[in-house]
Amino acid sequence: MIDHVSASWGLDENMSMYRHMYNDSTGIAEQKLGTVNITIQNSIFSEALDTWNHAFGSTLGGENCSFMRNLWADNAGRNPSIGWNGVFNFVNNVMFNWVHRSTDGGDYRALYNIVNNYYKPGPSTPKDTPIGHRILKPESGRSKLKYQVYGRAYVAGNIVEGFPNVTKDNWDGGVQVEELPNAGPYQADMKATAPLPMPELT
């Protein structure tokens, strides 16, 4: 549990927690495993430094992870980036003034609950491009499959300031795949009509 933390001016990301390296002391190479039972709430991740063109907010994820009532502000990207598969619970957060990435990541096994968040484009956000009203950009780049799969997503109740159509229906341009302005032909397989298994979050 991380609660009431402020992290700013990071050179890579301001707060990241999604995996660990496990060594079983047998001489076998370390395994990359997801973090487990993570909650980050009531925290601020802002103003990542662009010293190496890497002004990023967070990479988050793991198994049984929840992120609620946080603020990501003035980070160019990764607001946040989803760094693992499994259920990603993202509820009642605020994202402000991203540049080229809002919430994105995951892989073909990811299960996203993106619910009741507030996306406020700022002066650095390119509002006349799809990134200006993007809620979620699922990815499949780590998939070893010969075809593209983007996981399952319940995306509802999110507000994108200045974009009433996206606010009314988050799937009307708010969920974008690759360079498409929306989820395109993947929407039928991706879209969940009810929250994926998650704890009660407020």
Tell me the catalytic residues: 78
Which tokens in the block code for residue 176? Answer: 């974008």
Closest C-alpha among 105, 4, 15 to residue 57: 15
The neighbour count for residue 179, using CB atoms within 10 Å, is 7
Contacts of residue 2, defined as CB under 8 A and 6 or more positions apart, other chains included, come to: 15, 17, 38, 39, 40, 41, 43
**C-beta separation of 94 from 72 below 8 A:** yes
Contacts of residue 150, defined as CB under 8 A and 6 or more positions apart, other chains included, come to: 106, 108, 110, 138, 139, 140, 177, 183, 186, 189, 190
**Residue 27: burial class (beta carbons within 10 Å; 0-12, 13-18, 19+):** exposed
Q: Phi first, then psi: what are they for 186, rounded to 5°?
A: -85, -10
